[in-house]
């Protein structure tokens, strides 16, 4: 590390210590582990604590005033489990777990063990996804998407009785996979008080859905949330989509939070501020439409008009060309700005 990077590390460490001061207002947001997208996996310079383990993440979230955390807590045992539960109680924070759905009958035992150990760690809401990728990137045909939909239904029907047995709630994220009608279709078909939604306020923009309509549709089913603000910009084959600090783009966050609290007063608001390069949404490219043939042309036109109308006033944040230290600095700054906005505007 050269002298310039060392000075940046010291400056950022000082800023992080300052941010640990007690917030002036009650913080409404928990923190999703993906908010530490850069910090969670890569080697860290001196004075940066790891967030790879649940307890380390909890302590990092507590220092900046977050109300709780959402991360993987399954598999903890003995001393690690006791320390996490003690820290949660001492700091009066909550934890929501993340978990993978069972793939088949042979995977049920693994799933149930993860449910039980997550519950022992203090989590009664478990965020999950039906797929980790993006629909328009993963699938090349409608037939492939149908196979995914069939497998998802199988996984959900295997998971639901386990969730019901142990009285935990599975919160399935709208993860750039399901459009509103599709997700509501299987939610209503499953009709379980133990399977609902982890409502991400930005993901469905990538599937050409109006973000506030997504919130209104999923709010009655919401067990958890990924709260974020999104910026957009036109591209040659569609548009760019990027997470930005809360209140700095076009989502009406007060309206979103009001809708959520009215539908589900107990739902936790979890910040997912992923600091990364903008995502390419190639909605004018042929492959994008391979699994979206029934989407009306009107919705494409409305989204492109929305992108033009809400074009971000500055270039979308691009960080991949920056040094690791500078990326860490920006990530910490983005999270701090989000939490500051929340204490001022979302309490």
**CATH architecture label of 3-345:** Alpha-Beta Barrel (3.20)
Instruction: Domain ranges for the chain, please list them.
Output: 3-345
Q: Which helix (H) or strand (E) holds 83?
A: helix 78-91
- pLDDT at residue 41, as a whole number: 73
**68 vs 60: CA distance, rounded Å:** 11
Model pLDDT for residues 190-215, shown as the tens digit of each residue: 999 999 999 999 999 999 999 999 99
- pLDDT at residue 40, as a whole number: 81
CA–CA distance from 101 to each of 28, 150, 158, 170, 221 (Å)?
29, 14, 8, 9, 18
Maximum pairwise Cα distance, the chain: 60
- pTM, two decimals, is 0.92
% of the chain with per-residue pLDDT over 90: 88
Confidence band (pLDDT; 50, 70, 90) for 347?
confident
Model pLDDT for residues 84-133, shown as the tens digit of each residue: 999 999 999 999 999 999 999 999 999 999 999 999 999 999 999 999 99
- pLDDT at residue 20, as a whole number: 42
Average confidence score pLDDT of the chain: 92
Flag whether pLDDT at 298 surpasses 90: yes
Q: Which helix (H) or strand (E) holds 20?
A: none
- pLDDT at residue 25, as a whole number: 61
Confidence band (pLDDT; 50, 70, 90) for 7?
very low
Confidence band (pLDDT; 50, 70, 90) for 47?
low
């Amino acid at each position: 590390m050269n002298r310039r990077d060392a000075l940046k590390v010291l400056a950022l460490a000082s800023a992080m210590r300052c941010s640990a001061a007690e917030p002036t207002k009650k913080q409404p947001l928990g923190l999703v582990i993906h908010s530490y997208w850069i910090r969670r996996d890569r080697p860290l310079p001196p004075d940066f604590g790891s967030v790879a383990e649940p307890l380390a993440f909890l302590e990092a979230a507590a220092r900046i005033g977050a109300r709780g955390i959402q991360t993987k807590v399954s598999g903890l045992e003995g001393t690690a489990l006791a320390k996490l539960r003690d820290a949660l109680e001492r700091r009066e924070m909550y934890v929501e777990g993340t978990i993978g759905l069972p793939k088949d009958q042979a995977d049920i035992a693994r799933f149930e063990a993860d449910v039980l150990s997550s519950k022992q760690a203090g989590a009664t809401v478990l965020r999950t996804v039906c797929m980790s990728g993006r629909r328009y990137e993963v699938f090349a045909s409608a037939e492939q998407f149908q196979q995914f939909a069939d497998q998802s239904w199988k996984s959900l029907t295997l998971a639901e009785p386990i969730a019901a047995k142990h009285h935990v709630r599975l919160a399935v994220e709208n993860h750039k996979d399901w459009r509103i009608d599709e997700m509501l279709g299987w939610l209503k078909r499953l009709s379980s008080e133990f399977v609902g939604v982890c409502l991400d306020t930005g993901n469905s923009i990538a599937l050409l859905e109006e973000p506030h309509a997504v919130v209104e549709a999923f709010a009655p089913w919401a067990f958890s949330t990924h709260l974020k603000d999104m910026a957009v910009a036109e591209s040659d084959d569609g548009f760019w989509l990027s997470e930005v600090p809360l209140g700095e783009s076009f989502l009406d966050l007060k309206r979103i939070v009001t809708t959520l609290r009215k539908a589900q007063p107990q739902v936790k608001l979890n910040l997912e501020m992923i600091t990364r390069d903008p995502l390419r949404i190639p909605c004018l490219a042929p492959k994008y439409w391979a699994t979206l043939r029934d989407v009306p042309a009107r919705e494409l036109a409305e989204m492109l008009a929305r992108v033009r109308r809400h074009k971000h006033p500055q270039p979308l944040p691009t960080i991949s060309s920056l040094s690791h230290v500078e990326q860490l600095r920006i990530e910490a700054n983005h999270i701090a700005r989000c939490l500051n906005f929340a204490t001022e505007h979302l309490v």
